[in-house]
Amino acid sequence: MAHPRHTRVLDDLRAQIARVERSGRTRRAVLPFGAPAIDGRLPDGGLALGALHEVGPSGPELTHAAAAGLFVGGILARLNGPVLWCLSRRDLFAPALSAVGLKPERLLFAETHGGDSSVLLVMEEGLRHRGLAGVVGEVRKLSLTEARRLQLAAEASGVVALALRRWAGAAVTDPTAAASRWRLTALPSTPLPVAGVGRPRWRVELTRCRGGEAADWIMEGCDVQGRLAVPSDVADRSASADERHRAAAR
């Protein structure tokens, strides 16, 4: 049996080591969403910059794909500087990105003709340039090796990388080196007291987060400044109702 004095010495030593580790830890640069429910689930209180993140729709419907694209646009709208958007098909609706705060003058489009492999090569090259706010690549598939290359390039430059996963016939569940993985579902818009279409409403799912836990939320889509908002009728629900919703959604 250890002597009580020895036990106290060991406890003191462990406490000192823990303090040194905490003081030496570099806080990562992050971009908060401004929604406490989401930021509270993310390490350091926001989306990690200088990292790769994956975003995709929950199904093949165009409304879900549009929600995923606008979610990415809203993230980049809250950063400063030009954005490199890599794609292989001319089906991006720029006015919709402008509506969530990502203005056309900030966008640099790189259209490739070799499919996902070409998009990923352009993404990796773009991530070497520190003057960019972010790099987006529209791809169907992203292998673990390719994700690691993008993650390392993003870490080296400090530029955020966003892989916008097009629907490939199934939900994205393959292994990844990305810091986080998001899934978007378009829901009926926020009801208005008069006839008309209200603010878009999405189910935002964080399906993977390095250093964090999976979660999902019902949110109003990005506004003209790229910000999400909690619908008033959802914000008024009890915590137990939120937990039941999350359990049912999984």
Please give the average per-residue pLDDT across 200-228, as a whole number. 94
168 belongs to a structural domain: yes
237 is written with which tokens? Answer: 């629900």
Please give the average per-residue pLDDT across 202-223, as a whole number. 94
pLDDT attached to residue 92: 80
CATH number at residue 61: 3.40.50.300
Provide the CA 189 distance to its chain's centre, in angstroms: 22
225 belongs to a structural domain: yes
pLDDT attached to residue 5: 64
pLDDT tens digits for 85-113? 999 887 788 889 999 999 999 999 999 98
Count the domains in the chain: 1
pLDDT attached to residue 243: 44
Q: Is 193 left (phi over 0), alpha (psi -120 to 50) or beta?
A: alpha
pLDDT tens digits for 28-65? 799 999 999 999 999 999 999 999 999 999 999 999 99
β-bridge pairing 107-111 and 83-87: parallel
5 belongs to a structural domain: no
64 belongs to a structural domain: yes
19 belongs to a structural domain: no
161 belongs to a structural domain: yes
Which residue(s) pair with 163 in the sheet? 54, 137
Tokens 């954005």 sit at which residue? 83
Whether 74 contacts 101, CB under 8 Å? yes
9 belongs to a structural domain: no
Q: Whole domain around residue 50: which residue ranges?
A: 28-249
The residue type found at 118 is S
